[in-house]
Structure 1
Amino acid sequence: MTEFDHKLAAMSRAVGQGKLSRRDFMQVAMAAGLTVSASQALFSTAARAAPKKGGDFKFGCGHGQTTDSLDPATWSNGFTFHFGKSLFAAPLTQVDNKNNAVPHVAESFEPSDGAQKWVFKIRKGITYHDGRTLTAEDVVNTINYHISADSKSPAKSVLSSVTSVKTDGPDTVIFQLKGGNADFPFLLTDYHLGIYPSKDGKIDWEKGIGAGPYSIKNFEPGVRILGERNKNYFKDTYFDTVEMLSIVDVAARTNAYLSGEVHYINRADLKTIDQLKSAPDTELYNQAGFAHYTAPMHVDSAPFDKLEVRQAIKYAIDRQELVDKVLYGYGTPGNDNPISTSMKYAINPEPVYTYDPDKAKSLLKKAGLENLKVDLSASDAAFAGGVDSALLMAEQAKKAGIEINVVREPNDSYWDNVWLKKPWCLCYWGGRPVADMFLSVSLAADAAWNDTNWKNPRFNELLIAARAETDEKKRAAQYAEAQQLVHDDGGQVVLMYNNFVGAMSTKIGHNEFNSDFDDDGGYCWERWWMA
């Protein structure tokens, strides 16, 4: 490095630490021969490089509904998802940006007995927003809230292998499992599992008092949540206040960003992405990951109870065209396997479901049908471009003798009144960091979110066996067979893997993003800062 390079690096560090003004930096850089634009770009990069405290962060979210609640057992969309990831609640573990499970409320975790027993040590001195101290007993009561016999929590299926959870002193929690599970710490990153204060065996969730980075100052279901920095949080966090607005309508969300009402929006309108890309002081949030869009069919409802009908529909959909016209290239076609090819143990099952109307017709004939008419419930609440996707699918399926009647459902009540209830609809899955976690929550026979009502005995055997298997080769083979069964027999049409695409003001600083979920894995609240 030249002397100027060293000096420029030192200046950049000073900018990141807030010790050097834009004016002084620009003067030195331009005196050294850099252009105005190059100097400005370099300053902006340096200014965002080091986290600093202060500022009010506003986020326009593409999810949220008036029925949203602070009850963690009810969270089911991309708005309430944030509550437990890192807004006001704090779970035992988190996922880092390398897709590793790391301690959070837990200080450490250790397996024994072939990963059938897990011992978690709890950090000392963690306090809730109201000053109460987080205890090992709170952890036990929180977990029991989700796995009790009468629980309706989606986390119940995630933790289905837990046979007992108990304290061993004030700072130790012991989980006993039905069988070994090397991925168990990942399961505890589930966004429903933030730890709550408790009394007499019951958790106190009603006021949203958690141990996370922000305490709730205002919550209006379907409208917004406002949080204030928890000065006693056990890790560094940066914004003074955070506000998440529910803006389900994509045009309104885009306008909120362009007008400066919010600093960041997710689920960008890909039809008008160029407008966002060219907006002043804007960085495109474009992160490939594990998320995908699906069209789940209830396999216990006619006509989807016939395997040949399900397979005919799968061949009647041109997924590449959906990627091109709905995602505008920001994604890849699905192949009815919910495990992303970038995840450990993933396979790409054969045969690949490519668009083949003739194949679809022959499958219908095998099912005793010359043609087929079905309803497909659709809404942009399912995912951005959901209605357009359904209409395109309807057009594609005509060539196979399948008439798809697209039923446009209201955005606000979609997750309560349509998903899990209508025989065929659209859905969005944010993905999970490991195969077991995803397969357990969405496809296990008793999973609360088994949105196809698929109950395949062999699949469930494999799921349990693979979870406990410590031999990597055997485990990979078990997961491969499980994925093939989902592909061949299941009712989950994986339309496409979508990139997470949004727009972010250059006023926001960040490090490398997580890829398991949108919005930096849901950790934007504690990992981002005002540059």
Structure 2
Amino acid sequence: MRNTPTNWTGRDDAMVENAIRRGASRRELLKMLMGSGVALSMGSGLLLRAGEAVAATPVSGGNLKAAGWSASTADTLDPAKASLSTDYTRCCAFYNRLTFLDENGDVQMELAETVESDDARTWQVKLRSGVTFHSGKTLSSADVVYSLKRHLDESVGSKANSIAKQMAEIEAVDDLTVKIVLSEPNADLPTILSLHHFMIIADGVTDFSTADGTGAFICESFEPGVRSIAVKNPNYFKEQGPYLDSFEYFAISDNNARVNAVLSGDIQFAAAVNPRSLRMLEGQSHVETSITTGGNYTNLNIRLDLEPGAKAGFIEGMKYLVNREAIQKSVLRGLAEIGNDQPVSPVDRYHNPELKPRPYDPEKARSLFEKAGVLGQAIPIVTSDAATSAIDMAMVVQQAGAEIGMPFDVQRVPSDGYWSNYWLKEPVHFGNINPRPTPDILFSLLYASDAPWNESQYKSEKFDKMMVEARGLLDEEKRTAIYWEMQEMVANEAGTIIPAYISNVDALSTRLKGLRPNPLGGQMGYAFAEYVWLEG
């Protein structure tokens, strides 16, 4: 019998790992181990350990093809105007922020070395030295001042204008220091600076047909609504990454087509697949799923300033007609938590657990529709595959309406152009909101009177004042109390129905490694290209 050595060393572990990386078969590996005097039983354990180590060790090289679910001819490389997941993903690849959020939701520094304040109102940002743009220009405070001030220029059309307005002063102290003075104290500023819109661009740039950033990838080509090709930045300032040689990104709006593309190997990553597709993925040894729960949701929006939302009782009736449990269990296959019509999800520390969702009560809904004078009228509901599971949700509402004599005309429209042509515009339509790290950001973007994405045109002077008050409070108890009340106001007064907080499901090749959850949304908060690698 062959003797089993007791001094199997880390050097030998490395030998096995290297053999695995070179593509050695299991038979070849076992033969190698037995030739070194290792018993078969021990060899299997060594192979498992080495395999796990290889899987956890980034590998450089390879070309990744990935598909999102939404795109349009309005796709942009201007971070200030970014609004779709495809925009965010590209911006994360080409640019950097001053800060970013890690998988635990903690603020980490990126282009900034420090972001500090003594009073939460006057902040000093110290920049990293030696960072260069793809064009070769060296990063300086002038770039940061220009990037942040663009959000205050109404002509730019920044999606973060309502958030940036609190920056009353933005000025360069020296080449690597920026001072930001807020109109009111806000302890969340380091988190706010981690948002996708606050990517740093070069001073004076106005042409976004390509991207000149400091990011992990250089833009080789960009066709709005079609695709982008990015190549590795050889001068990236971070010690590690990116690992991929190139990164091609585009959208496949049809869910089944997106899933089939990853099953066939045409792509290595399919973002945000419908929970119904899990059956297609089961038993496929070369494909796996990544399921993360954040604050993503698909909502039914009813504009308060248009008919039928302007009729007293209609919106409340809709909130009783939406069968949240059916949506959670049947439409989303259990991959969701029931929502209570406000955007702060249960994973957020400021979520109000005492605010209960309205129960499914079709008879109460019928009474309210009758009161509103709309019972029996065919009400259009605009829906699309562009918003996750929105078509299935619309069918649930339509079926419930039919049972009480309230017909709904479900109008399915194409994904292409949905966000520019229908979202925010139609009287009754669906939206899809990506996670945001603080209640203040959610409220500023979606519910303040001047919010850029005010989906139901909700306007409340009281709400606006509470939002400003809460953002400046360092007393967590008082801040929480205000946020709880604001959630109640949204749930009871706004025209947005949020039936569930959805778990994000991505489908990926088992060769793709390094994917982790992030509080800013799926695809690692849309920054996955910088951190993942292809094995084998």
Does the alignment reach a TM-score above 0.5?
yes
1:102 aligned residue (99, 102, 108): 108
| TM-score calculated relative to the size of structure 2 | 0.92
Q: Secondary structure at the match of 1:451?
A: coil
Report deviation, 1:136.
0.7
Q: CA deviation at 1:528?
A: 1.1
Q: Secondary structure at the match of 1:426?
A: strand
CA gap 1:224/1:477 in 2 versus in 1, 3 angstroms: same
SS at structure 1 position matched to 2:278:
helix
Is 1:475 the equivalent of 2:475? Answer: no
Q: Is the counterpart of residue 68 in structure 1 residue 51 in structure 2?
A: no
1:430 aligns with 2:434: yes
Q: Indicate the residue corresponding to 2:470 in structure 1.
A: 466
Structure 1 pair 124–307 and aligned structure 2 pair: CA distance change class (3 A): farther
- Of 264, 270, 273 in structure 2, the residue corresponding to residue 265 of structure 1 is 270
- Identify if the C-alpha distance between structure 1 residues 100 and 16 changes in structure 2 by more than 3 Å, giving closer, same or farther: farther
Query: What is the aligned counterpart of 1:33 among 36, 41, 49?
Result: 41
Contact 2:470–2:482, Cα closer than 8 Å, also in 1: yes
**Cα distance in 1 between the residues matched to 2:18 and 2:146:** 42
For residue 148 of structure 2, what is the aligned residue in structure 1? 143
C-alpha change, 1:40 and 1:382, in structure 2 (3 Å) is farther
Please state how far the C-alpha of 1:275 moved relative to its aligned partner.
Answer: 2.1
In structure 1, give the amino acid aligned to 2:446: S
The one-letter code sitting in structure 2 at the alignment partner of 1:464 is: V
CA offset at residue 132 of structure 1? 0.9
Assess, with a 3 A threshold, how the Cα gap between structure 1 residues 8 and 49 changes in structure 2: closer, same or farther.
farther
The answer to whether the aligner puts 1:171 opposite 2:179 as a matched pair is no
Q: Which amino acid aligns with 1:279?
A: Q
| Counterpart pick for 1:441 among 414, 437, 445 | 445
1:460 to partner: Cα distance: 1.1
Matches within 5 A, 1:124-523: 124-199=129-204, 203-235=206-238, 236-237=240-241, 238-368=243-373, 370-383=375-388, 385-510=389-514, 512-523=516-527
Shift of 1:258: 1.1
Partner of 2:127: 122
| 8 Å contact from structure 2 (residues 124, 179) kept in 1 | yes
For 1:218 and 1:96, how far apart are their aligned partners in 2? 29
How many angstroms does 1:97 deviate by? 0.7
**Could you tell me how far 1:262 is from its partner in structure 2?**
1.0
Alignment deviations for residues 326-355 of structure 1 (CA, whole Å, 9 cap, x no partner)? 211111222101110110211135342121
Aligned to 2:530: 526
Contact kept, 8 Å, 2:325 with 2:338, in 1: the verdict is yes
How much has 1:144 moved relative to structure 2?
Answer: 1.2
Distance 1:80 1:6 in 2: 53
Measure the CA separation in 2 of the matches of 1:13 and 1:522: 33
Q: After TM superposition, list the pairs within 5 Å mapping 1:39-78 onto structure 2.
A: 42-78=49-85
What displacement does 1:362 show? Answer: 2.9
Letter in 1 for 2:236: Y
Looking at structure 1, the residues matched to 226 and 6 of structure 2 have their Cα atoms a distance apart, in angstroms, of 49
Q: CA deviation at 1:154?
A: 0.8
**Residues in 1 aligned to 2:489 and 2:509: alpha-carbon distance in whole angstroms:** 44
Q: 1:455 to 1:12 in 2, by over 3 A?
A: farther
Partners of 1:290 and 1:497 within 8 A in 2: yes
**Which stretch shifts more, 41-50 or 154-163?**
41-50
In the aligned structure 2, how far is the partner of 1:17 from the partner of 1:433? 40
Report deviation, 1:448: 0.9
- Aligned match of 2:95: 89
Task: Give, as a single letter, the amino acid of the residue that structure 2 aligns with 1:54.
Answer: G
Q: CA deviation at 1:515?
A: 3.6
Amino acid at match of 1:388: D
Measure, in 2, the Cα distance between the counterparts of 1:487 and 1:115: 30
Larger gyration radius, structure 1 or structure 2: 2
2:76 and 2:208 in contact (8 A); partners too: no
Rounded Cα–Cα distance in structure 2 between residues aligned with 1:169 and 1:481:
43
Partners of 1:514 and 1:15 lie apart in 2 by 33
Contact kept, 8 Å, 1:307 with 1:489, in 2: the verdict is no
How far residue 495 of structure 1 moved from its aligned partner, in angstroms, is 2.2
Q: C-alpha distance in 1, partners of 2:273/2:336? A: 13
- Partner of 2:466, secondary structure, is helix
Deviation at 1:427, TM superposition (A): 1.0
Is this contact kept in 2: 1:254–1:269, CA < 8 A? no
Equivalent-residue separation in structure 1 for 2:323 and 2:458 (angstroms): 24
- Which is worse superposed, 286-295 or 149-158? 149-158
Deviation at 1:248, TM superposition (A): 1.1
SS in structure 2 of the partner of residue 80 of structure 1: helix
Taking a change above 3 Å as real, the CA distance of residues 70 and 349 of structure 1, as seen in their structure-2 partners, is same
Once the two structures are superposed, what CA deviation does each residue of 1:294-317 show, in whole Å capped at 9, x if it has no partner?
111111112212452111101101
Q: Distance in 2 between matches of 1:522 and 1:483?
A: 27
Q: 1:118, 1:518 → 2: CA distance? A: 30
Tell me: CA distance 1:177–1:250, structure 2 relative to 1, closer, same or farther (3 Å).
same
Q: Quick one: which amino acid aligns to residue 72 of structure 2?
A: Q
RMSD: 2.4
Per-residue deviation, 1:93:
1.2
CA distance in 2, matches of 1:197, 1:302: 45
Secondary structure at 1:475 match in 2:
helix
User: Conserved in 2, the CA contact under 8 Å of 1:182 and 1:470?
Assistant: yes
Per-residue CA deviation, residues 271-311 of structure 1 (Å, 9 max, x unaligned), is 23122132222221111111111111111112212452111
**Identity rate of aligned residues, in percent?**
29
Instruction: Report the 3-state secondary structure (helix = DSSP H, G, I; strand = E; otherwise coil) of the residue aligned with 2:89.
Output: helix
State the alpha-carbon separation in 2 of the partners of residues 6 and 181 from structure 1: 58
Q: Is contact 1:323-1:496 (8 Å) kept? A: yes
Kept in 1, the 8 Å contact 2:20–2:51? The answer is: no
Tell me the distance in 1 between the aligned counterparts of 2:191 and 2:424. Answer: 25
Give the counterpart letter for 1:214 in structure 2: F
Q: State the 1:250 CA deviation.
A: 1.3
Offset at 1:371? 4.5
Task: Classify the secondary structure of the residue corresponding to 2:237.
Answer: coil
Q: Deviations over 1:125-183 (max 9, x none)?
A: 11111111111111111111122133321111222311121110000111111111111
Equivalents in 1 of 2:344, 2:268: separation in Å? 32
Give CA-to-partner distance per residue, 1:211-251, whole Å, 9 cap, x none.
11000111122221110011111112111111112111112
Q: Provide closer, same or farther for how the CA distance between residues 17 and 50 of structure 1 changes in structure 2, counting only shifts above 3 A.
A: farther
Secondary structure of 2:41's counterpart equals coil
Secondary structure in 1 matching 2:132:
coil
CA contact (8 A) 1:16 1:50 kept: no
Cα displacement (A) at 1:516: 2.9
Alpha-carbon deviation of 1:40?
6.7
Asked whether the equivalents of residues 16 and 48 of structure 1 are also in contact (C-alpha less than 8 Å), the reply is no
